[in-house]
Amino acid sequence: MVDDNELNRLRDIAAPAPGESAKARAFEAALRAYDEEIISAVTQGSVGGLRLTERAQKLWREIMQKKLIATPALAGLVALPIAGYATFHLLREQPAKFGGDEKITETLADKPATLKPAEPKQAKPEINQPLAATEPAKDKKADADVESRGASDALVAPASPPKSESTVAGGTAQQQKALGRGVLSEIAPPAPAPTGEFALEGSASRAAPEAKLMAPQQPAMVPADQIAPQEENRNRVQDFKTNPVHAALEDPVSTFSIDVDTASYSFVRRSLKEGAVPQADTVRVEEMINYFPYDWKGPDSASTPFNSTVSVMPTPWNGHTKLMHVAIKGFDIKPTEQPKANLVFLIDVSGSMDEPDKLPLLKSAFRLLVSKLRADDTISIVTYAGEAGTVLMPTRAAEKDKILNAIDNLTPGGSTAGEAGIKEAYKLAQQSFVKDGVNRVMLATDGDFNVGQSDDDDLKRLIEQERKSGVFLSVFGFGHDNLNDQMMQTIAQNGNGTAAYIDTLAEAEKVLVEDASSTLFPIAKDVKIQVEFNPNKVSEYRLIGYETRALNREDFNNDRVDAGDIGSGHSVTAIYEITPKGSGGEQIDPLRYGQATVNNGGVANADEYAFVKIRYKLPSEDVSKLITTPVTSANEVASFDQASTDQRFSVAVAAFGQKLRDEDATAKFGYDKIMEIATAARGADPFGYRSEFLSLVRLASALGGNR
C-alpha cells in the first residue's frame, strides 16, 4: 500500500518539460496514427466507420502503446495534449454523417504530404496515379499494422472540399497548399527535423499502402467529379450540309468560287492513320480531289493564266447519271521568270504551340522553305504570343544562317494575340513591298486566337481590309485536337490566299518545296465558276463538294466579291453529277403544270449539256475577265474506262470523299470499287501520293467507315 505522504509528495512535484527527443517521438506517433486512418485499405464502395468515441479511444491507445517516456505520469502529460489535439483536428476535418454508410471520396489530392528534407523538384503525378508505387516500403511495421486491420477497421477518408473551391489539376487550391507545406503545418508550428531512429519517414514509407489501395482487385471508389476526363476532340471545323440535287428546269445555274486548298486531305489522312474515321465535316471533297497534281492541258502563254478542259463520262456509282468533269490548269511560271518574293513569316509561338507536331514541326517546315528561295528574295519574321513582335527585319535569303538562327530560337509561351500579329505582319510586308513581285504573309498556327479580335467575323473583316494593300495570304495549320480549322479557312478565303494543313515533315516538303511555285506565286485571283445547265438535256444536277465556296448567282459578275486564287502551275478540278433528261434517274418529281411554251421555233443551243463560264482577275488588276466553254456531245466519252488516267483517279478520290461523308450517292458503292478504279488509274506516281491514297482507302475499309 502506498503511503499518503508519498502520494502527496508526488502530487506536488512539478513535471519536467519534455525534451526534444520526447517531442519527436510524440509527433511521429500522431503522424503515423493519422496516416494509418487516411490510407487504410478499403474495398470499393461504402464501408462502416468507427464512431467518434471509438476514434478518440483508438488514437489514445496508439499513442500510449508507443511508450513515449519511461515515467507514466510524464507520458500522460506529454502525450495527452498531443493526442487530444490530433483527434480534434481529425474530427474537425471529417464531420460525422448520419443515416447509414459513408461514401469514400478519397483522392490523391486529399492525402497529406510527408515532411522530409528538400529534394529536387520532380514532375507532378497525374490524378489517380500512385505517388510512389514502385518504391520499397521503409516502415514494414506500419504496413503490417494497416494490412492486419482490414476493411472492418478502416476509417472514412476526409470529406471532399466544398464545391465553392475551384478544382485545378489535381485538387483544390486549399489541397495544393496542404500538399506543399505538409500536414503538420496544419497541426503545430514547425519543429527541427529529428534524426536517427525517430527521423520522419519519406513518402516511400507510405508507398505500399498507396499501391495496395490502387490495386486492380480492390480499386478505390473515386467520385465522378474527381475522375480525370478523357481527352476530348477540341478541333473547330465548319459544319455544312452536302450539296443537294437541283432540278435544271427550276434552278439551272450553279455558281461557286474555285478552291485550291488541301488542308482537308491532310487532316483526313492523319485521322485514318491514327485509327479513327474522320468527322464528316472535316471532309471537304474538293480539297481531297485537288490535293493531287494532275496533268491537265495548260495555256500556251502567260497572257492567258489558265486553260479549262470539260469532259462528260458515265458515273461509276450510278448507271442513270453522268459526270461533267471540269479541269483547270494554271500557267506554270519558269523558275528563271519567277518574280522577286517579299515574304513575312507570321509564326504563332503561344503556349498552345508547345507540342511536338506544332512549333518544332513548324520550324523544320520553314527551314525547308528558306532553302528553296532565291538569294534576292527577302524574309521577315513576326511572332505573336501575349503580344506581337518582329523577330527578323526584312533580310535577303542570301543571309541564310541569320534567318535559320532566328527560326531556331523561337520558343513557345503565353496567350495568343493573333490580331496584333496579323496587323504587324501586314505592316512589315507593306514596308518592304515589291512592285510587280510577290508580297505574301505566311501564317503558321493552330488557329487558337484568344487575345484581341478572335471572332471569325471580326478576323474576316480585318483580313478583307488588309488585302487591299496587295499583300496575299497563306495559312498553314499545325497540330490536332486543338486545331481551329474554321478560323483558318475564313481568313485564307478572304485574304486572297490558300490554306494547307501540315502534319508531317513530308507534307511540309510537298507544300513548301514541291508545290512552292503554286504556293507562293499567284497567276490569277478571284476565280469564279458559273455553270448553266440546259433543261432540255439535263433534268437534274449536283455539284460534288465546294459547299463552303458557294456563291450567289449575282456574285459572279460582281468584281467586289472575293473568290479563290490560282498559283503557278496549280490544277483545279470540279465535278458535277448530272442526270440526262429521260434517263430514268431523276430524284425530283416533275412540275404538275409543266414548262411554259415559247413560240420561238425551239430553244437555242439545244444540243448543249451546259455552258461553263469562268471569271478571273490578274493578280495586279481589279477588273475581271471572262472565259466561256460550251459543253456538247463532242466533250463526251462513251465509257468510263475511256476517260484519261487523271480523270478516273480524280473521280475515285471524289467517290472516297463522298463515302467518308456518308453521302447517299455512294452509299451502295463499296471501298473495293474505289480501290479498283484508283489502282487502275494510279499512273505515274513519282512522289507516292497516289499509293498513299490507296493505303487510306484500305484503312477506311478496315475501320468500317460508313460501309
Residues 118-146 have pLDDT tens digits of 444 444 444 334 333 444 444 444 444 43
pLDDT score of 115 more than 80:
no
pLDDT score of 211 more than 80:
no
Question: How large a percentage of the chain has pLDDT more than 90?
Answer: 48
CA distance 684 to 168: 55
The whole-number pLDDT of residue 125 equals 41
188, with CB counted inside 10 A (0-12, 13-18, 19+), is middle
Q: Which three cell numbers stand for residue 674?
A: 474505289
Q: In what order do the strands lie in the sheet with 318-330?
A: 246-247, 538-544, 571-580, 318-330, 306-315
The whole-number pLDDT of residue 654 equals 98
3-state secondary structure of 389: strand
237 and 485 Cβ atoms separated by less than 8 Å: yes
Q: DSSP of 272-293, one letter per residue? A: HHTT-PPPGGG--HHHHHTTS-
Reported as a single tens digit per residue, the pLDDT across 139-189 is 444 444 434 444 434 333 334 344 333 333 334 444 443 334 333 333 344
Stretch among 21-25, 51-55, 268-272 having the lowest mean pLDDT: 51-55
First to last CA, the chain: 97
CA distance 576 to 579: 10
The whole-number pLDDT of residue 409 equals 93
Q: Which residue has the higher pLDDT, 191 or 109?
A: 191
Q: What is the DSSP letter of 275?
A: T
Q: Which three cell numbers stand for residue 95?
A: 464531420
Q: DSSP of 528-546, one letter per residue? A: EEEEEE-TTTEEEEEEES-
Grid look-up 471532309 returns: 283
Residues ≥6 apart with Cβ < 8 Å to 358 = 352, 412, 446, 478, 479
Reported as a single tens digit per residue, the pLDDT across 568-627 is 999 999 999 999 998 888 888 887 776 655 455 566 788 899 999 999 999 889 999 999
The whole-number pLDDT of residue 698 equals 97
Residue type, 379: I
The whole-number pLDDT of residue 556 equals 97
399, with CB counted inside 10 A (0-12, 13-18, 19+), is middle
Q: Which residue has the higher pLDDT, 484 or 299?
A: 299
Average confidence score pLDDT of the chain = 77
Reported as a single tens digit per residue, the pLDDT across 216-267 is 444 444 454 444 444 556 677 888 999 999 999 999 999 999 988 999 999 9
Q: Which residue has the higher pLDDT, 43 or 383?
A: 383
Q: Which three cell numbers stand for residue 623?
A: 477588273
Residues ≥6 apart with Cβ < 8 Å to 535 = 248, 249, 252, 581, 595
Other beta carbons within 10 Å of 223: 12
Reported as a single tens digit per residue, the pLDDT across 492-533 is 888 888 899 999 999 999 999 999 888 889 999 999 999 999
Q: Which fold has domain 339-485?
A: Rossmann fold (3.40.50)
CA neighbor of 583 nearest in space, from 317, 320, 271:
320
Q: Which residue has the higher pLDDT, 501 or 303?
A: 501
Residues ≥6 apart with Cβ < 8 Å to 260 = 290, 498, 518, 564, 565, 566, 567, 570, 572
The whole-number pLDDT of residue 81 equals 56
Which of 630-649 are b and which e, b meaning 16 or more Cβ less than 10 Å from the residue's Cβ?
A: ebbeebebeebeebbebbbb
Reported as a single tens digit per residue, the pLDDT across 416-452 is 666 788 889 999 999 999 998 999 999 998 876 654 4
Reported as a single tens digit per residue, the pLDDT across 390-410 is 999 999 999 999 999 999 999
Q: Which residue has the higher pLDDT, 185 or 686?
A: 686
CA distance 39 to 113: 12
Other beta carbons within 10 Å of 593: 6
Select, from the ranges 2-11, 80-89, 151-160, 322-331, the one with the highest average predicted confidence (pLDDT).
322-331
3-state secondary structure of 332: coil
507, with CB counted inside 10 A (0-12, 13-18, 19+), is buried
Q: What are phi and psi of 312, to 5 degrees?
A: -120, 130
Stretch among 192-201, 230-239, 533-542, 649-658 having the lowest mean pLDDT: 192-201
531 and 308 Cβ atoms separated by less than 8 Å: no
CA distance 643 to 634: 13
Q: Which three cell numbers stand for residue 611?
A: 455552258
pLDDT score of 675 more than 70:
yes
CA distance 130 to 215: 10
569 and 518 Cβ atoms separated by less than 8 Å: yes
Q: Which residue has the higher pLDDT, 116 or 574?
A: 574
pLDDT band for position 20 (50/70/90)? confident
CA neighbor of 267 nearest in space, from 573, 504, 515:
504
Residues in the chain, total: 707
CA triple 217-220-224, angle to 5 deg:
130
589 and 250 Cβ atoms separated by less than 8 Å: no
Residue type, 117: P
Reported as a single tens digit per residue, the pLDDT across 688-707 is 999 999 999 999 999 986 66
CA distance 506 to 509: 5
Q: Where are the domains of the chain?
A: 17-226, 246-333+523-584+614-703, 339-485
CA distance 26 to 80: 10
The whole-number pLDDT of residue 702 equals 94
Q: DSSP of 478-500, one letter per residue? A: E-SSS-BHHHHHHHHHTTTEEEE
Q: What is the crossing angle of helices 671-680 and 689-703, to 10°? A: 170
Stretch among 187-201, 397-411, 458-472 having the lowest mean pLDDT: 187-201
Other beta carbons within 10 Å of 601: 6
The whole-number pLDDT of residue 86 equals 52
CA neighbor of 115 nearest in space, from 12, 217, 185, 209:
185
CA neighbor of 129 nearest in space, from 108, 112, 144, 150:
108
- Going by their DSSP bridges, the two strands 388-396 and 378-384 should be labelled as antiparallel
The residues with which 311 forms a beta bridge, in sequence order, are 325
pLDDT score of 82 more than 60:
no
Q: Which three cell numbers stand for residue 404?
A: 535559320
Q: Which three cell numbers stand for residue 61?
A: 491507445
Select, from the ranges 29-43, 115-129, 621-635, the one with the highest average predicted confidence (pLDDT).
621-635
pLDDT band for position 566 (50/70/90)? very high
